Amino acid sequence: MNAAPKTLRHLSDLQGAGLTSADQRAALEKVAAQYAIAITPEMTELIDRADPRDPIARQFVPDAAELDATPGERADPIGDHAHSPVEGIVHRYPDRVLLKLTHVCAVYCRFCFRREMIGPAAEPLTAGQLDVALGYIAAHPEIWEVVLTGGDPLVLSARRLRQVVSRLSAIAHVKVIRVHSRVPVADPACITPELVRALKAKGKATYVVLHANHARELTDAAREACARLIDAGIPMLSQSVLLRGVNDDAATLGALMRALVETRVKPYYLHQGDLAPGTAHLRTGIGEGQDLMRALRGRYSGLCQPTFVLDIPGGWGKVPIGPSAAVAGDRAGQWIVEDSAGCRHRYPPAADADRDS
């Protein structure tokens, strides 16, 4: 009997699976010593070995380019540490906090903005630290939403998640629990009925935000995992990262957004790549992202439109950076509006509307 496929965690595993070669070993050992590796069987199966620039491989297979740090890159690119009053909490915005339950993921993305902090060697949040973190949330009535993140919270057992969700449900001012995860695509079998039940809390709204970057990630099994959540009354949104060689053309990005909508997952955020060390080879320019957003707007349903955002380096928060279709005209109250084909139109003040009609 053949052994069940396993998650690839070591360079020898990658080489055995045909994802790396012997002549890459020396350089990749340096990468592996610094950044965690894990590729689940579901993601391994999607990789086209005949394509040296396969978009799934680019997300998960280590690359020697990760050793090349560029100016401006930083270990904590979005400034988590600056807004962490207690271990496990990031309180950057008044009405919500991140609760980082674990530093472990089902897969390790080569572009991860927390790549210096996550991996199997990282210390998990202890029971005492969790008590302090939940105490912080309880003591701050302005906190309306708690975002479970990490690492990936859905690698935890249903029992563990149920305990955390139950304790959050006892905090009256917390109304929304949001879960950020790659597990529905990376390891869809983990989305069991028991886990789905564990995420629901009486009197609270639970949302799951799926991280997916390419339409091929939305396999039949992934769509079924999402359906288990959605059919149980848990709405799903998506977040994707704009990545060079993965989804940086309009057709590929549009196919991803359509696949998400077909799965009943509403596109939410498209992230500009963060300035994590060794990720320049995967990062696009902001202008490229704005051009792609223009193309999406002109070609695809409004359901397929995410918000293009940047987490300002240093902890200053997330801001929309999509293209603006309207600029002030040369008369007071007048605007010049650009359509999806690039043609410009004058939008007159209300008083001028009748005269121009």
Q: Which residues are catalytic?
A: 92-93, 96, 105, 109, 112, 114, 274, 311, 318
| Ordered DSSP codes for 288-320 | HHHHHHHHHHHHS-GGG-PEEEEEETTTTEEEE
DSSP β-ladder status, 236-241 and 265-271 = parallel
Task: Give residue 206's identity as a one-letter amino acid code.
Answer: T
Separation of alpha carbons 355 and 124, rounded Å:
67
Structure tokens at 149: 């993140």
> 211 phi and psi, to 5 degrees?
-95, 115
Q: Which residue has the tokens 């859905």?
A: 154
Identify the three-state secondary structure at position 120.
coil
Half-sphere exposure of 134 (CA within 13 A, CB side): 18
Amino acid (one-letter) located at 2? N
DSSP assignment of 314-356 equals TTTEEEE-PPPSEEE-SSTT-EEEE-TTS-EEEE--HHHHHHH
The C-alpha angle with vertex 271 and arms to 265 and 277, in degrees rounded to 5, equals 135
